[in-house]
A = this chain, B = another copy of it.
Amino acid sequence: MTFSLERVETPALVIDKAKTLRNIQRFQDFCDQRGLASRPHIKTHKSAVLAHAQLAAGAGGITCQKIGEAEVMAEAGIRDILITFNILGQEKLQRLRALAARLDRLAVVADNEDVIEGLAQAFAFADKPLSVLVECDTGAKRSGVQTPAEAVELAQAINMCKGLEFGGLMTYPSLGGGADVLAFMRATLNMLQSCGIACPVVSSGGTPDMWQAESAGIITEYRAGTYVYNDRSLAERGSCKWEDCSAYVLATVVSRPTRDRAILDAGSKALTSDLLGLEGYGAILGHPGARMVGLSEEHGIVELEPGKTLCVGQRVKIIPNHVCVVSNLFDQAWLLDEHGELSTLPIDARGCVT
């Protein structure tokens, strides 16, 4: 299908194909140089096509956050998946069993004994053991055990369960928390070794600090998600260049109520309200002085720079603050190739909340 960008109805999510593939390759090359296995998180693109592109570039498997996402990726033929979320409840455990049977390798995480107990019950009579990594809170203050001793305790508990095997350590670091990750993991590895417990994987992640990722003989695997598209939060932070942002929301100026106010047809239903510590709701490319000062569901409110204008009907490209949540709002994106041709990019795992 050939279809020009001018005819795409707004608001729309547009993905620059060449930039996206370049982002994928650059991160894979970096991991290869550092001796890190890469395991991209699909939460950003939620696209089977792009997950396959990441595997083709050299990733050993993918990361998902929800069983529903993993089910979609399994359906698309992906065979090695890590789900970095505590899984609880009979319904979810049944789905996990069925998912494991379809894959070459499924791994999950746990940071407490209730989760391990549920997994053990579900996999006690499975054909192959489920790999369970212990999630460690190395400073991000989200999920995860608080100390190396707790991590070792859970590793032992996992290995004592029929149907489960300790798959390693996993963490989502705090911003700039690379040294904390290394310290926590080094201490835990030492304790595991003293107990004679093998630790096949030490998995860290996160796009903001990924170019600082060092294996240091400790980290074996890196999970990154946002790097595939990048976004305003990463560009403002210096984690990527603006020209590496490969996803934008195309919007139309629908109203010019005053000299200094323009209204776009992209609000929180297209851009989300995520600020991620920034001012404003997105960066309008080519209009650095125009500030996105407010969003309602369908309206984006722009304060114009004195002397600069935007006309009703004019289209603008907005780099969103946080692209992962944006791709969850569109049923499909438009993939723009280097010849200016558009094709649809289904966002296969959109809305997989469970």
Chain A positions within 8 Å of B, measured between CB atoms, are: 7, 9-12, 43, 65-66, 85-86, 88-92, 111-112, 114-115, 137, 141-146, 252, 254-258, 261, 263, 265, 268-270, 272-275, 296-299, 301, 312-313, 324-325, 328-331, 351, 353-354
Contact = CB atoms under 8 A, between A and B. Distances in A.
14 contacts: A7-B91, A9-B89, A9-B92, A10-B354, A43-B297, A65-B297, A85-B265, A85-B298, A141-B257, A143-B263, A146-B258, A269-B328, A273-B275, A328-B329
Nearest to A295: B274
A330 B351 CA distance: 6
Given A263-B142, A298-B65, A351-B331, A325 B268 contact: yes
A111 B257 contact: yes
The complex is assembled from copies of this chain, and their number is 2
A296 B44 CA distance: 13
A287 B329 CA distance: 30
Contacts of A324: 297
A324 B268 CA distance: 11
A255 B353 contact: no
A11 B353 contact: yes
A311 to B, nearest CB: 8
A269 B325 contact: yes
Contact of A255 (B11, B143, B252, B354): B143
Contact of A91 (B9, B265, B331): B9
Nearest to A330: B353
Contact of A257 (B85, B146, B252, B329): B146
B301 A141 contact: yes
List the 6 shortest-distance A-B pairs measured between CB atoms, nearest first.
A86-B254, A143-B255, A114-B312, A9-B354, A273-B273, A273-B274
A86 to B, nearest CB: 4
A329 B351 contact: yes
Contacts of A137: 257
Contact of A268 (B90, B145, B254, B272): B272
Given A270-B353, A272-B268, A353-B329, A85 B143 contact: no
Given A9-B92, A9-B354, A272 B270 contact: no
A115 B312 contact: yes
A86 B255 contact: yes
